[in-house]
Amino acid sequence: MVGKICGTGSYVPPHVMSNDDLAKIVDTNDAWIRERTGIGRRHIIKGETTSYMAGQAALKAVEDSGIDPAQIELILVATSSSETVFPCAACEVQKTIGAVHAAGYDLNAACTGFVLAFNTAQAYISAGIYKTVMVIGADSMSCMVDWTDRSTCILFGDGAGAAILCAEEGEPAFMAAHSDGVKGEALTGLSRHRGGWKPEGEDKESYIHMDGQAVFKFAVRKVPEIIEEVLSKADAELEDIDHFVLHQANRRIIEAVAKRLKTDISKFPMNLEEYANTSAATVPILLDELNRKGQLRRGEKVMLSGFGAGLTWAACLFEW
C-alpha cells in the first residue's frame, strides 16, 4: 500500500508585512529583498499560535478530502515553534478537528520537517500500521527572528499546511533523508531560557542565527544530490517528474537547483514572494495551492524536497 494524498489544506495569518513595512524597521528596501530572495511579503501572526494555524489547515484538509475525521488514525505535526512543549501540537490538532481515534505526535526537523513527516507517514502506511494519516507542517517563525537583524528578519513568515494520506494500491513512494550535525552551527535557534529561567528581557542567543553563504552552498549542493538519489531508487529519470515541490527558502536556491539538474525552471513552482520562508509549512502550503488551482493531476509524479537546520535534508517521489 502507498499513501495517496486525498486532501490538502493551508492557513496563513491575515496580517501581512510587506518589504516596505520592513524597511521602516531595518536598513533595507523592497528591491534589495526581492533581488536577493524573491520575497515580497510575509504573513505574520497577531494572536494566533502555531497549533491554531495547524488546526485550521487540518480542518481545510478534512473538508477537501471529504472523509470523517474519526477515520484519521495518526496526526504528525512538523514544527520547531510550537507555543507549548506539551501538550504537543498534534494533540491540539486532534482536539480541533475531532479526530477521536487518532494518535499524534510532533516532529522537529526545522525546514525539512514536513518532508520527513510525510516520509514517516508513507512508512507507516507501507507497513500496514495505519491507513489514514494527517501530516502537517506549521511554524511561527516571527517568534524566533530578531527583528533588528536584516540578514534573517527579511526571510521568514508564519503559516501552516496539511495533507491527508490515504492507503491505496499503487506505485510505492521512494524516499531518502540525511543529516549532518557537524555543520549544524550554520543555522541555529536556541532555547529562549537555556540554562534556567531568565525573567529580565529577551536572550539574544534565542533568536535564529544563520550563516547565509554556508546554508546556500549546502542547499544547492545537497538538494540535487538527494533528488538524484531518489530517482536512482525509483529507476526514474528527471524527465519523468512533473513537479518539483521544494522548500521555499530563497528563489536563488531553487533556480540554482534547477540549473544544476538541467531541468526547466517551470517545473519548480514557487510562492515565496507571497509567504516568504514559513519553515516546515512551505511545502504543504505550496502543495495545497497547486491542488486547489487544479495544477496537480492524478498519475503525475511529484518530487518533494526539504532542507534546513540540523543540517537536514530529505526528498520523496510519489504519484499524485
What are the pLDDT digits (tens) for 124-181?
999 999 999 999 999 999 999 999 999 999 999 999 999 999 999 999 999 999 999 9
Q: Which residue type is seen at 210?
A: M
| Residue 203 backbone phi and psi in degrees, to 5 | -95, 115
Least confident of 169-173, 201-205, 268-272, 286-290: 201-205
Output the pLDDT for position 71.
Answer: 98
- pLDDT band (50, 70, 90) for residue 205: low
Q: Which amino acid is at 260?
A: R
Answer whether residue 196 shows pLDDT above 70. no
> Which candidate, 125, 96, 93, places its Cα nearest to that of 107?
93
User: Rounded distance, CA 110 to CA 216, Å?
Assistant: 16
pLDDT top residue among 244 and 196: 244
- The pLDDT assigned to 80 comes to 96
Across residues 272-294, what is the average pLDDT? 98
Query: What nine digits make up the cell of 36?
Result: 536577493
How confident is the model over 43-93, as pLDDT tens digits?
A: 999 999 999 999 999 999 999 999 999 999 999 999 999 999 999 999 999
Same CATH topology for 2-168 and 174-319: the answer is yes
CATH number of 174-319: 3.40.47.10
Which active-site residues does the annotation give? 111, 247, 277
Report whether pLDDT(204) > 80: no
SS3 276: coil
Contacts with 228 (C-beta within 8 Å, 6 or more apart), sequence order: 261
Average pLDDT over residues 19-31: 97
Helix, strand, coil percent values for the chain (each to nearest 5): 40, 25, 35
Across the chain, what does the average pLDDT equal? Answer: 95
Per-domain residue ranges for the chain?
2-168, 174-319
Share of the chain above pLDDT 90, in %: 94
Q: Is the pLDDT of residue 235 over 90?
A: yes
Q: pLDDT grade, residue 295 (50/70/90)?
A: very high
Q: How many other C-beta atoms can be found within 10 angstroms of the C-beta atom of residue 25?
A: 13
191 pLDDT above the threshold of 80: no
> For the domain 2-168, what is the CATH code?
3.40.47.10
Residue 158, strand partner residues: 140
Say what the pTM is.
Answer: 0.95
Q: Say whether 159 sits in a helix, a strand or coil.
A: strand
pLDDT tens-place string over residues 239-251: 999 999 999 999 9
pLDDT for res 197: 42
